[in-house]
Structure formats: structure tokens, C-alpha cells
Structure 1
Amino acid sequence: MPQVAAKLGATVTIWHQSGKGGQQTVQQAYAAAGQPQHKVTEFIDDMAAAYAWADVVVCRSGALTVSEIAAAGLPALFVPFQHKDRQQYWNALPLEKAGAAKILEQPEFTVEAVASTLASWDRETLLDMAERARGASIPDATERVAEEVSAVALAR
């Protein structure tokens, strides 16, 4: 992402979650790319605040992350973790099909691909994607699952 920031320049502001022990290395990478102004934290403690801050999210596509992004109504660029069963790809696919996200598989996740994708998303596109993300969310999913479990349990 530091090289993506350098390529896009002042058009982006990044909040980069580095993971445990990665903050200094990632900050140095941003500085080396001439982009020291971006925020780097090991972890993001308040995801609601981070989602409220963001215009777009670039991230892996675990099930909870995908559902949070849809509920928050955010456009996303998903990079599924490469695994033989492709779980993260399948998690992200409904949002991509809804027009709320784009999936870049790990081999496609290059500076050029990320920068050109983000640069092509103007304000109107991002707003449309955000609306599509909200439309794809299932806000009452917990209640639906609980009702289904109760119905199955009562049927026995």
C-alpha cells in the first residue's frame, strides 16, 4: 500500500492496520515511498469509527469483515486469503456481484492494479457502491439464524 499511496499521491489518505509487530516496518515503508503522512496502527480498536472515517476499504475478506463492510455501507477492494477452499473469495463474491466491491486475488494484487482500481472510483461511483453494499447487507441475520435454530429445535 505504501507504493499505491505514492502512485495516487494526495488523492488518498490511508489508515493502514499493520498487525502485531508490523507498525514500525510499515511506517518506514510509507516514509521510504515519500508518503509519511498516512496513519499506521497495529490494530484498529474502534472499527465503527474506522468505517465512519473510510470512503473505501482495502482488506481481506473473512466472513465477519465482509458482513461488517456491507452493514457499514462501504465500497471495498477485497484481497481474499489464498486457501485451497477459497472461503474468502466466496465470502466477497456476493458484494462483487452486487456492484459494491471488487475482488483482486493475491496474484493480481499489484501496485498498478490497486492504484488503477482506486483511481477509477470517483465520488459518484463510491456512493453507488456504498448504496449497493447497504442493499446487500442483512441487518437482521442474527435474528433469522436464531429463529431458524429455534424452529428446528422445536420440530424435534
Structure 2
Amino acid sequence: MLGKTYESQECSIARSLEVIGERWSLLIIRDALFAGATRFSDFQRNLGIATNILKARLDGFVEAGIMRRHRYSEQPELYEYVVTDKGRALAPALVALSEWGDRWASDGEPPILYTHAVCGTVVTQQTVCAHCGRVDDPAEIQSTIGPGMPAERLPRQA
């Protein structure tokens, strides 16, 4: 079982979980990306999340560069949380999780559809091979050691 941090894992999934793996994190990002939430009160009202947890998550997103704080009022001093390019890059992952949930964790029709703002057509997330195109069978996907693997973590040659 993994602990609260994934320092021993040489894996980009584990590194991502360090930043966005907590239960509320993706819901906060979802509301920021797709529901237009920017203010602390928006997130708190939409999610019903405890204020101390929300503050910790938003502060963490600012520190990680997923959001930035922007003051929108001087008196009283109030801030909104604006999603950065780094945060917007999470949209495909959220669409993929939504599709998985629609298929495997739902009894009915999808409660939310993601559409292309330009033409209105439904957006889906796909796995694509740079050579062959779309990959529909997950059994055809394998992992291999990449160039970022530290030498000390490489398998030993006999």
C-alpha cells in the first residue's frame, strides 16, 4: 500500500497524484474549468467542502502553478483563483475520467456532456498511437522505460 507521498515511485502518475490526487482536488479543478468557479465562495457552495480543506487545496494549486490568485477587491481584500495553462492541461484527464465514470460507475445516461465550444459537438478523450492512430483495446498498450528513468532505477543486466 502506498503512503501519503509517492517519493519512491518513478512514475508520472505518482507524481501527478502528489499534486492532484486528493479526493477534492479534481472536483475543484472540474468546477474551475467547466463551471466557471473562481471564488472561494463558489467552490465552497458548489462542493460543500470544509473551508480549511478548500483553503489547503487552493493554496496547493497556487503553489503548484495550477491556479493563480488574482485580487478582485481591495476593501475587503478578496481573491479569485484563475486556472493557468498548467491547470487547463488537466481537462483531457477530466474528460477521460468522466467517460470512465459514465461507462463503469453510472446506471443511466451521462449526467454531463463535454462539448466543443466552437461547434457544439461532443468531445471525447482518445488514446492515439503516433503511427497507427486510435487505440481502442487497452490490452494493446504497454509501458516501457523512458529516458527520464534514473540510471540507479534501471533493471540490472545479468
Rg bigger for which structure? 2
Into which bin does the TM-score normalised by the smaller protein fall? Answer: under 0.3
TM-score (norm 1): 0.26
Whose relative contact order is higher, 1 or 2, with alpha carbons under 8 Å and at least 6 apart?
1
Structure whose residues are more often helix by fraction = 1
